[in-house]
Amino acid sequence: MTKTKLPRGLRNNNPLNIRHSASRWQGARVEQTDKAFVQFTSMKMGYRAAWRILETYYKHFEAQHKPFTPRNIIYRWAPPNENDSEAYLRRVCRLTNLAGNEALVRPSQVSGRSSQSIQSSQNSQNLQPLLNDAYTAPDPQAKTKLIDLLAAMTCVENGITMGKVDRGR
């Protein structure tokens, strides 16, 4: 019986492949053996970091008077000088049914605590804890849209299908 090797982001508990930087991430492993990407102690901590990055992006876009949209998020996350950002955006939009220029709500507005994150099982990422977090957004679909965005970005980053990502529905 052959074991399937998980994609790098999932092995690192870093589903969105956050690169090493000056940031000291809560939940980062003490020993970092991957030279490019942060390794987290759990998938929950990897998703927590991604959620916090989305909150930082929101603040950045707000300061620049830019909307918080899948397009702006992805073009910052995977900039065109390093990636095919348009292909990344098309895939995320196809997986989520979000429009590229659809305005999304501020991440901290839809989670009771920005530290709430996503749990994982061995074969899939379970986003149920994020869905169960204290809900404060005016639009009942607002949180689901952000969760779907993170789930789709996980798929793109790790070359997996959306069917492998359990969003708790």
Contact 130, 103 (CB under 8 A): no
Specify whether the CB–CB gap between 19 and 36 falls below 8 A.
yes
pLDDT of residue 161: 83
pLDDT in tens, the chain (169 residues): 455 688 999 999 999 999 999 999 999 999 999 999 999 999 999 999 999 999 999 999 999 999 999 999 999 999 999 999 999 999 999 999 999 999 999 988 876 433 333 333 333 445 544 444 433 445 567 878 898 999 999 999 999 887 655 554 4
Q: 3-state class of 1 per DSSP? A: coil
The predicted structure's pLDDT at residue 53: 95
For the record, the structure tokens of 162 come out as 């959306």
Q: Which amino acid is at 65?
A: H
Supply the pLDDT for residue 137. 45
pTM equals 0.79
Give strand ranges (E) for the chain.
119-120, 125-126, 165-166
